[in-house]
Amino acid sequence: MRVAYVVPGPMSKGPMGRSEMERREALLQGWAFAGTQVAVVDVPNGPASIESAYEEQLSIPPTLDRLRQCESEGVDAAIIGCFGDPGLEAARELVDMPVIGPCEASALLAASLGHRFTILTIYDSMAASQEYLVHRIGVRDKLASVRATDIAVLDLMKSPDRTLARVLEVGDAAIREDRADALVFGCMTMSFLGLADTVSQRLGVPAINAGRAALKAAEAIVAQGLSHSKRAYPRPPKLTTGIGKVEDLALA
């Protein structure tokens, strides 16, 4: 089984660099079942990090192109490497392989592990969009809260101890004040810091690593020979009538 983790931005050209892509690939490969091959790839242009709806929208066109390329190369499933799941529905319309959104995979998992879960996000400004995502996924009634760590994506890795301390502080408040009984890391960089086990042990509730949840969702779907319903995500009509290329859908 081949799984691609598609970073919806030019990570290899940014401050994190190709070494961070390789580090994430090694982590994903370590989480994968025997027989699964994971590749982390990025796109040639777009935002260096995604911390707003505007940046999410900018990331979608090159990500869709990269997903189509992955499918043409024989990849069995792909993960959109951003917790906002940018372009998820469009991707499922364009390709036949399963495409996994980390937010969707994590929210569905959290909903099965407890009665109420909290998403630990970056900024308060992202709370509304993540609440809306959970609503679209269909588990809004199980969302206790979205709470911000107030640490920027590109700063999360600069001081892992500070990030852990803040995640524990915010997670503890969610448990005590919002009655959360599960936590979700609402940022992929946060998920790749190896904090989940420590947070679970110290706070006494499941802490969900969104990257690992997305990978396991991909493996489970492929292992069962399934993919997303084309009645739910039909191919765009212009593509089915012979135009064929996404770029042909736009007017000059």
Whole-model pTM: value is: 0.91
Residue 246 has pLDDT above 80, yes or no: no
Architecture field, domain 2-101+213-249: 3-Layer(aba) Sandwich (3.40)
Per-residue pLDDT of 162-209, as tens digits, reads 999 999 999 999 999 999 999 999 999 999 999 999 999 999 999 999
Residue 231 has pLDDT above 80, yes or no: yes
C-alpha to C-alpha distance for 214 and 105, rounded to whole angstroms:
5
Per-residue pLDDT of 205-227, as tens digits, reads 999 999 999 999 999 999 999 99
Element (H, E) at 39: strand 37-42
What fold, for 103-210? Answer: Rossmann fold (3.40.50)
- DSSP-based three-state secondary structure for 167: helix
Rounded to an integer, the average pLDDT of 135-158 is 92
Average pLDDT of the chain is 93
Q: How sure is the predictor about 252, in pLDDT bands with cuts at 50, 70 and 90?
A: very low
The amino acid at residue 6 is: V
CA atoms within 13 A on the CB side of 237: 0
pLDDT of residue 234: 95
**2-101+213-249 against 103-210: fold identical:** yes
Per-position DSSP letters for 85-137, written without gaps between them: -TTHHHHHHH-SS-EE-HHHHHHHHHHHH-S-EEEEES-GGGHHHHHHHHHHH
Per-residue pLDDT of 101-142, as tens digits, reads 999 999 999 999 999 999 999 999 889 999 999 999 999 999
Q: Where are the domains of the chain?
A: 2-101+213-249, 103-210
Buried b (16+ CB within 10 A) or exposed e, 152-181: ebeebbeeeeebbebbbebbbebbeebebb
